[in-house]
Amino acid sequence: MDRFLAMRVFSRIVELRGFGKAADSLGLPRASATQLIKQLEAHLGVQLLRRTTRQVGPTPDGQAYYERCLRLLADLEEAESFFSQSGSGPQGRLRVDLPASLAHRLVIPALPDFCARFPRIELEVGASDRPVELIREGVDCVLRAGEVYDTSLVARPLSALPQITCASAAYLQRYGIPQTLAELEGHRAVNYFSARTGRRLPLDFMVAGARVELELPGNIALSTAEGYVAACEAGMGIIQAPYYHLREQLAAGSLREILADFRPAPMPLAALYPPHRQLSRRVRVFVDWLVELFARHDSLRPN
């Protein structure tokens, strides 16, 4: 029995709650995963997994063993990476998940540079606005905009994304162009709600260094950045979003910035990864590259 492979298989089963998903994620036949776990349990003399008709979960002994497996596997990966630094460099599969608009507009167009630097890293990139559960879904690293509430993850700040308030030309022709926050009375918003909590987010303005939140009525609320901006372009109300996402619409004239003297506070952006991935050189070089990328990107800043 390859004990390290068995530990990897066991860890992925715990994270993905299933033999089939774990085997698929590691590129193994499902029968091989089942056989490895049987051998591992026999070797340790304990039951590691509790199987039901719906899912698989660790026993108390299995949970304790899983936590030790994470540390041992991370140490093994770090040792292998150390000795490969002077040769081929970091290698293997790296699974990342990015907000869709950030992926399409900023990160993916720059990825040829990353791949040229680290040709032995195989990227699997998810691009969505849904909250990803890193450990359960086997994702190594995610980018998240906004405040970070999950204290179980390691967070590395990447940037603070400038935000603006805007509306379509047709909307402003109908409702007028507000010059002050008081003049927002009678206006409408395209509301954005968190896919994680379901809570609608108010509009946010900075006035004399203090944050002011306002809620405006609206006919529509969305949980995706692309839909949020599209509804604004359709004339359904006022939105606030990072400047990089609106730059093309502003240049084309389909959207116009309003209340520029009261721009929202910048939106923090961070890379998040599970604690046991801190030693992964693949994760480290990718996050370091992201830091460089956002430091030099002019399209993040409005004029």
- Give tens-digit pLDDT for 119-170: 989 899 998 878 777 777 778 899 988 887 777 888 999 999 999 999 999 9
Q: What is the pLDDT of residue 86?
A: 52
Mean pLDDT over 97-103 rounds to 91
Q: What is the pLDDT of residue 266?
A: 93
SS3 of the chain: the string is CCHHHHHHHHHHHHHHCCHHHHHHHHCCCHHHHHHHHHHHHHHHCCCCEEECCCCEEECHHHHHHHHHHHHHHHHHHHHHHHHHCCCCCCCEEEEEEECHHHHHHHHHHHHHHHHHHCCCEEEEEEECCCCCCHHHHCCCEEEEECCCCCCCCEEEEEEEECEEEEEEHHHHHHHCCCCCCHHHCCCCECEEECCCCCCEECEEEEECCEEEEECCCCCCEECCHHHHHHHHHCCCCEEEEEHHHHHHHHHHCCEEEECHHHCCCCEEEEEEECHHHCCCHHHHHHHHHHHHHHHHCHHHCCC
Domains and CATH numbers, the chain: 3-84 (1.10.10.10), 92-159+268-300 (3.40.190.10), 163-265 (3.40.190.10)
The pLDDT of residue 76 is above 90: no
- List CB contacts of 152: < 8 A, sequence separation 6 or more: 274, 275
Mean pLDDT over 184-196 rounds to 91
Mean pLDDT over 23-33 rounds to 88
Helix axes 281-296, 60-84, angle to 10 degrees: 70
Mean pLDDT over 55-76 rounds to 84
- Name the pTM for this structure: 0.73
Mean pLDDT over 65-81 rounds to 75
Q: What is the pLDDT of residue 80?
A: 64
Percent of the chain with pLDDT over 70: 93
Say which residue, 93 or 220, is predicted with more confidence. Answer: 220
